[in-house]
Amino acid sequence: MGELNRKGLRPGLYAITDSQLLTADRLLPAVAAALRGGAVLVQYREKTAPQPERLRQARDLVALCNNARVPLIINDDPELARRSGAAGVHLGQSDSSLVNARQQLGEHAIIGATCHADLALAASADRDGADYLAFGRFFNSNTKPNAPAADTSVLARARQFGRPVTAIGGITADNGEVLIRAGADLLAVVGGLFDGDPATIEGRARQFARLFATHHPLFSSSVHQES
């Protein structure tokens, strides 16, 4: 579990924004609510807004997340991550190469990699120095309905790489427990978190925090050591 402590990564809720759910005026209040509820990592995902607006929003989110001591990750855009001062970038299989992103952002950056349900992709990302490995989708997803399905067994098998394991795809507070028990260190959540007002978002984030406190082995081992 020591790998989770690298670069500020901790087990818990990985909050991913979506402009279809969060209009520009709702973005900051929604992320602030997720942070109050206990989100441990935030990803800014915006593919359609003009570049100046994306840069402004990313910088605003960097300030918000830095104040909460939570890393902000940029989806698919190493250059935006560099210009905004974000903690890192998440790369899909069709995005910039991990090696190029590392050269652009430096060794300090957090770089995550989409691996779908493929351990060969995970092995490649591991060799290239990914800081976390993301698998999914595990449930039906409105964000990426055509993404290939993944079985929960891939989470346990991915532990061999010694990297934090992220689960994504249709995750809610009602179905997240099985993924944590299967080996997920981070639950990446979009609609299951941000489809609501700030009070609802904060409440859902607290539900995810309780799931990790109850079921993640890092927290369980801490409880055993204290007792």
What's the predicted TM-score (pTM) here? 0.94
Find out whether 88 and 129 touch, Cβ atoms under 8 Å: no
Encode pLDDT of 131-186 as tens digits: 999 999 999 877 777 778 899 999 999 999 999 999 999 999 999 999 999 999 99
State which H helix or E strand residue 37 sits in: helix 24-37
Find out whether 61 and 24 touch, Cβ atoms under 8 Å: no
Please give the structure tokens belonging to residue 172: 């809610």
Kindly give, in sequence order, each residue whose CB lies less than 8 Å from that of residue 182, ignoring residues fewer than 6 positions away.
152, 153, 155, 156, 167
Identify the residue with better confidence: 8 or 13: 13
